[in-house]
A and B are shown apart, each in its own frame.
Chain A
């Protein structure tokens, strides 16, 4: 089954404790992206990647890191999480020829205390 998986689905952590949210897709997609969704703000793009070893900043990259060492994986790293990073995070992927047909993961609910 074609899908985008994220782990963990739910995470409660404390300020400053490094964490990684994994994202993996099995569709051989070139384009992958991370978003955060906050009430009243909609979805905001954090980082995106057009292919392996190619990453670009989105609208709100501060406080986040990403890497794209393999085509299928695109982890989101929070080196020192803060409460303002409490949010619902989505990973998405799409093929290079149909970037807009993004397949979204199920979301990761992160709470930073």
Chain B
């Protein structure tokens, strides 16, 4: 089975600064998707950004961007110009295309934004 590892249980960032959340994964597959989800205190999960493994170009969504290193199996999330509303738990996730669309999530990183 695939595994997703987030080695930073907690992170903090000053408002307006940049922070990078780390994620590594283990897989023998060549085709898959990677995601970052945000879970605010309301507990609703929100898709932040998605990366297809076959694409070399790093995905970007406004202030959110990823650094996808396929050979290293690394998928970090960079949040620029951090805002108070960015405070949440962030989950890295992997979606298998070979095992019927099964998802694997990391353990999460709790991000605090300091005013």
Contacts and interface: CB of A to CB of B under 8 A. Distances in A.
Are A and B associated in one complex? Answer: yes
Contacts of B101: 31, 48, 50, 99
Interface residues of B, number: 23
Contacts of B33: 100
Nearest to A31: B101
A41 B102 CA distance: 17
A44 B108 CA distance: 12
Interface of A: 31, 33, 35, 40-45, 48, 50, 56, 58-59, 88, 90, 92, 99-102, 104, 106-107
A58 B103 CA distance: 8
Interface of B: 1, 4, 6, 33, 35, 42-45, 47, 50, 91, 93, 95, 100-108
Nearest to B100: A56
Nearest to A33: B103
Contacts of A33: 103
A42 B108 contact: yes
Contacts of A88: 43
B102 A48 contact: yes
A92 B69 CA distance: 29
Given A42-B91, A43-B91, A101 B103 contact: no
Contacts of B35: 100
Contacts of B50: 100
B107 A41 contact: yes
B104 A45 contact: yes
B102 A45 contact: yes
A40 B107 CA distance: 6
